[in-house]
Structure 1
Amino acid sequence: MANAQFNPKLVNILKDILLRLHDGKPQETVKEDFDKHLNQVSAVEILLIVQELKNGGHGITSDDVVKLFSIYKQLYGLAINEWHVPDSNHEGHPVQILIAENKEFQSILDQMNGQIELLEKSSQWVQEEEVIEKLKEDVSQLGQLNRHYNRKEKLIFPILERYGQITPTRIMWEGDDRIRILYKNVKRKIENIQAIEIASVKQSYQIFQSKMTDMMFDEESILLPIVLNIFNEDDWLAIAREGDTFGYCFIDPQKEWERSVSVEDECNKEIDNATTKHIKIGGGYLTVQEANSILNNLPVEITFIDKNGIFKYFNERVASSDMMFVRTPISIGRNVANCHPPKSLKKVMRLVQDLKSKKRSSESMWFKKKDQYIHITYKGVFDEDGEYLGILEYVQDIRPFFELPREAKR
């Protein structure tokens, strides 16, 4: 599917219509222009353009988009942001999980709004200790937004990119990162609320609440209609299977959604036959099964990005949810530039270029994660003729090395 958001004519027409709606122009005149210029444009193309315009600093709001959706329904008799896909109403389907989590988020945001208003009216903190404790509890609960956004970024976005839609994922990921920053600021202020002016707390909270509410609108009214129209059942199954890797917010899906009839058995038979064949590798011979088992038993997490920047391989020494750096099969085939948040893209691409050009042979770094000391190395890989093959990343917990006995064990 073409990237409709890069069609300047459609973008300008829709931008003009949305700005007129924003300025309160009569909907009848707007409706005429919409039907004249956009009646042959698919709903998905319109949604893609709307997402870009809404996040492009033009002053277009969710309310303006709702007005546009209303005009679309008046003209064509169906809602532009509603798609009906078999099983998508199943409570274990990724769509239903995302919507259920958003309802819980909205409920907590509403509660916090009332709590902050109550504190604003009170002049005696001592009398409001119960409200303060509940506010701190609620803001802590909102920290689960990272699970929600991670599932979206690491499971939905890679598949959307396979269908040629890269810009929408970058726009939404940038929005997620802004919300993460705003959340940390709000949480810090609420945890120290008795030492901070309530007006400052309220201002920070309202900015955060507005952005998060807006993101929920974008997810349900723009992102979901797009992917429900584009994704097939295999795509949704892949997302459902990997959901546990990142965890869920507030809910634990009791009914797992899966395909009623499996079509994987024949594929698995072909794979099983291939794994028994010996191939020359290194200084000897291994079957694919043996090579795979060896790689999965190494005490490091390995990732390989090929010469074209495509995420091609990772070993599976532990379940994805237990990895130091979470990797899932859904990300295989994704461009390395899209595997990282927009804010770190420049650093990532500079490292890739340096390793490819041999400006750097490798790059290592480490950080502490709970009781682990995570050590990461990135290394350029070249063949015997010096041709660039890609980048190897290996990650390990080096804490056990700190605990080695002084005397050598022979």
Structure 2
Amino acid sequence: MSQGISNQGKKQMIKDIIRELHKGMTPQEAKEKFVKEIGSITSFEIAQIEQELINEGVPVDEIKRFCNVHALLFESILSESLKNVDYPVHPVNLLKQENQQIKGLTERIKRVIQENDIDKLKDLLEQLSKVDLHYAAKEHLLFPYLEKHGFMGPSKVVWGKHNDIRSMMKEAIANFKETELEDYLKKYLEPLIEEIDSMIFKEENILFPTALEMLSPQEWVDILKEMKETGFAFVKLPATLDKLIDEFEKSLSINPTVENDEVIFETGKLSLTELESILNTMPVDITFVDVDDKVKYFSKSKDRIFLRTKSVIGREVRNCHPPQSVDRVMQIIEWFKKGEKDSVDFWINFKGRFIYIRYFAVRDKDGKYLGTLEVTQDITQIRDLKGEKRLAD
């Protein structure tokens, strides 16, 4: 590994790698070459060099070739940094920052109660209700990784406490000013604040230390990348980190492949039998028309609303509709192809049932049009639903 290499040397290395990428070198190979010959480099340095290359006239499209390498280098840098819990964007650090905001809100609510400034209370409660996002991040990111290490307690116990707090929050908001203040505080608000403060204590003193002991730096990197999906209640990822995570995800995105009778997707894998059974079990009828306007697939659900026969496969979609509606169907497909619309919906009464029909433009990750999906659903019973029916019911 070269020691003390200059910024100019690093810049030349990036130029060389861009040329190699153009010839077919993979981002992973480029990353390994860079680490071997350059060694350590900060994400800021890489961004700086990329900007200098643009200023020197290197085409942006050429620089883009290096983006995936940048992202892979960033992952290595991040993995090393996340060995330290005090790193500003360590997931535990971000969750602790959220706890500071949550604790600040509960303290303000206590002061408002003491000052009898009830007008501010409703707004503070609405702000505090965003604690739901904080809990969701733990449930969907932290708990699964703890389970992989055989630690099931949080999923079994803490998740239940989260839901208790959510129910208490809902009741506290719903009963605001509907109950005498003294009764309201005693029955709804004070127990809620006590539970939220107690959860902060449990996170800081039990959950987070346990997670730090069990999870590897790479697992924290994976959690951080997915935190974009769950979102945060009270903090934001730095814009530069946000961009780099996007680049990293792009570099790792995979196209579905079939291997040993399994379709491997970016978000999991299914056997061909599982996949077909899922499509046929969905409570909707689906028909897919490909990029050439030919019917390519339809699901075979048990209670299909509109008749489909296998003879329709390969048929021009314009020949599948009566003259009165064919122009409308083709207009929708044209909108989808031009990118003018992404979906169109209709609803009709059919044989005493209320039918919801939706058309969706199907596009790949780069936005390229692949075809049109028709989704038909009998929503007669859905329209009649009232109130709530929870899983526990």
Which of the pair has more CA radius of gyration?
Answer: 2
Q: Which has the higher contact order (CA 8 A, sep 6+)?
A: 1
What TM-score comes out, normalization by structure 1 length? 0.42
What TM-score comes out, normalization by structure 2 length? 0.44
